[in-house]
């Protein structure tokens, strides 16, 4: 009984440490330095404020698979490449609230 309880506590602690990421944290970590806290900034006309979640997801997936972006796209490719599809969805959902 004690072993089962100990294993349960360890598994619970492990799962809590890896809780689902939220959009605000992902945005702050991966996007805010270029696009600003409210999404209105970016190189050239690259502000993301006011874009829909679906539009942002299409753009981010396009950067990740190489089908979207202009001459300076490598910066975005490097940012989104390591992110999972789920993380891209979460970021897209958050940016739609900016």
What is the average pLDDT across 77-92? 96
Domain-located, residue 15: no
Domain-located, residue 2: no
Give the model's confidence band at 92: pLDDT under 50 very low, under 70 low, under 90 confident, else very high.
very high
Among 40, 67, 62, 43, smallest CA distance to 51 is for 40
- Residue 28's domain comprises 22-95
When the pLDDT of each residue in the chain is averaged and rounded to a whole number, the result is 82
Give the pair of three-digit tokens for residue 53: 């979640």
Q: pTM score, two decimals? A: 0.76
Domain-located, residue 13: no
User: Hey, what long-range contacts does 44-53 have (CB within 8 A, 24 or more apart)?
Assistant: 44/72, 48/95, 48/98, 49/98, 50/98, 51/95, 51/96, 52/96, 53/92, 53/93, 53/95, 53/96
Give the pair of three-digit tokens for residue 21: 């990421």
Q: How many domains does the chain have?
A: 1
CATH number of the domain at 47, please. 1.10.760.10
Give the model's confidence band at 20: pLDDT under 50 very low, under 70 low, under 90 confident, else very high.
low
Question: What is the per-residue pLDDT across 35-68, written as a single tens digit (0 to 9) for each?
Answer: 999 999 987 777 899 999 999 999 999 999 999 9
């Amino acid at each position: 009984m004690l072993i089962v309880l100990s294993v349960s506590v360890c598994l619970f602690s492990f799962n809590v440490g890896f809780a689902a990421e939220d959009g605000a944290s992902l945005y702050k970590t991966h996007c805010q330095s270029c696009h600003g806290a409210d999404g209105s900034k970016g190189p050239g006309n690259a502000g993301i404020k006011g874009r829909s979640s679906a539009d942002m997801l299409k753009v981010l997936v396009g950067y990740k698979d190489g089908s979207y972006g202009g001459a300076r796209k490598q910066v975005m490719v490097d940012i989104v490449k390591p992110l999972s599809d789920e993380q891209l969805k979460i970021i897209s959902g958050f940016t739609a609230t900016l």
